[in-house]
Amino acid sequence: MKTNTKPLARILTVIAILAGTAISAAAQTYTTFDADPHATFPHRIDSTGRIVGTVLSASQVYGGFVRNADGSIVLINVPAGISTDFVTFAASGQVAGSYTDSTYAQHGFSGPAGGPYTTFDVTGSKSTSVSGANSGGQTVGIWMDSASAWHGFLRSSTGTVTNLNARGAATTTPGAINTSGQIAGIYTDASGVQHGFLRSSTGTYTTFNFPTGSSGAFVSMNDAGQIAGSYRTTDAVYHGFLRDTNGTFTSFTLPGTQTLVNDINQGGSIVGQFGPYRKPHHGFLRRPDGTTVTLDHPGATLTTSGDCINQSGTIAGHYQISTTNTVDHGFIVTGVH
C-alpha cells in the first residue's frame, strides 16, 4: 500500500516552526575556506562577499585576514605587534582593529588590508582595544586609564578621540557603530549591574535593561539601529535578544541551554549558535518574523557557528569536525531562507 506522507511532512514542519527552529534547508550551499590551516574565525562579511576575521597560527598566535570575493586571502599582521586580536571593516578599502605588543598592552590600528597601518592609543591609556568601525572611518572601543578603570571611546576618521561614558556608569563598553554614527554597547553601574545603551550621533544616550539578575553581552547593530546580542541569566544560561528601533526588547532561546548571537544584518536577520552547555553546537539564522533555520556544515559533527551575515543573506562562520579534529575552518553558506 502506498502511504501518503504529505500530511505528516506538513505536521513536522508546523512543529518545527512552533518550536522556533526550522529544519535545515536542502538548498543550503557551503563553501569551505582556511585563511590559516590551524584556525579561521570570520568576523564580518560585506555586501560584496568580502570577509574579515582572525586566524590562529601553529604557534598559537592570532593574526587577521581579509578574504576577497574571488577567494584570495590577504593576511593582516601589524609589524609592531606580537598578535592581531581583532579586525573589522572600516572606510572603503580599509580595516581597523587591535593588536598586542611585546609588553602585552593592546593598541588600535587602521589602514588598507595589506598595510601600511596607522596605530593609535587613547591619550593616557594603558591599553586601547577596538570593538567596531563604520564605513565613514569612525572607530569605537575601550581603553584603560592609569587606575585600571575601563572607558569607552569614539575615534573620528581624522583621529579625534571622544571619551564615552554613559550616565551613572562605572564602565562603558561600546560594541558597534553604524553608518549614521549610532553607537551601541553595555555599561555597568555603581552596583555592578549591567545595562544596554544606544548613543545617538549627537551624543544622547538611551539606556535599556536586561531581565532582572542578568548580565548582558552586546554583539551587533545594523544601520536601522536594531541591536542584537545575548544576555546571561543567574543560572548561567545565555539567551538571545533583539532590541528594535521602537525600544521593544524581545528575548529568544533555541533548543539546548545556550543561545549566542553574533550578528544582525540590515534586514533584521540574526545569526549565531546554539546548543547544550557542552558541545555539539549548531548555527542558526533567525528571520525577522522570529522563525529560525538551523545551520550544520556537512562536514561538522562538533560545532557550526553562524558568525556574520550580509545584506543579501550570505552567511560566514566557522566549524569543527569532531572531538578528535578540532581545527576551526571557515565557511560561507548561501541559500538559507
Question: What does the DSSP 8-state code read for residue 312?
Answer: T
Bridge partner residues of 272 (DSSP): 261, 284
Question: What does the DSSP 8-state code read for residue 280?
Answer: P
Rounded distance, CA 299 to CA 234, Å? Answer: 35
The whole-number pLDDT of residue 219 equals 82
- DSSP per-residue codes, 133-164: E-TTS-EEEEEE-TTS-EEEEEE-TTS-EEEE
Q: What is the average pLDDT value for the chain, to the nearest integer? A: 90
Q: Are strands 169-177 and 161-164 parallel, antiparallel or unpaired?
A: unpaired
Rounded distance, CA 129 to CA 198, Å? Answer: 20
Domain boundaries, the chain: 77-209
Report pLDDT digits (tens) over 39-50. Answer: 999 999 999 999
The whole-number pLDDT of residue 292 equals 97
The whole-number pLDDT of residue 24 equals 46
At 310, the amino acid letter reads N
Lowest mean pLDDT among 35-39, 56-60, 205-209, 227-231: 56-60
Question: What does the DSSP 8-state code read for residue 218?
Answer: E
pLDDT band with cut points at 50, 70 and 90 for residue 280: confident
Residue 164 has pLDDT above 90, yes or no: yes
Q: Where are the beta strands (DSSP E) in 204-320?
A: 205-209, 215-221, 227-232, 238-243, 249-252, 258-264, 270-275, 282-286, 292-295, 303-309, 315-320
Report pLDDT digits (tens) over 236-259. Answer: 899 999 999 999 999 999 988 899
Q: What angle do CA 10, 14, 17 make, to 5 degrees?
A: 140
The whole-number pLDDT of residue 21 equals 44
| Backbone torsions φ then ψ of 68, nearest 5 degrees | -75, 165
Report pLDDT digits (tens) over 11-41. Answer: 233 323 333 444 444 589 999 999 999 999 9
The whole-number pLDDT of residue 323 equals 84
Estimate to the nearest angstrom the gap between the alpha carbon of 141 and the chain centroid.
Answer: 14
Sign of CA dihedral 144, 145, 151, 156: negative
- Note whether 259 and 253 are within 8 A (CB): yes
Residue 6 has pLDDT above 70, yes or no: no
Lowest mean pLDDT among 17-31, 157-171, 271-285: 17-31
This model's pTM is above 0.75:
yes
| Backbone torsions φ then ψ of 15, nearest 5 degrees | -60, -45
| Rg, C-alpha atoms of the chain | 20
Set of cell numbers at residue 53: 576575521
Bridge partner residues of 325 (DSSP): 322
Rounded distance, CA 95 to CA 136, Å? Answer: 12
CATH class of 77-209: mainly beta
- Note whether 13 and 23 are within 8 A (CB): yes
12 versus 333: the higher-pLDDT residue is 333
Report pLDDT digits (tens) over 293-303. Answer: 999 999 899 99
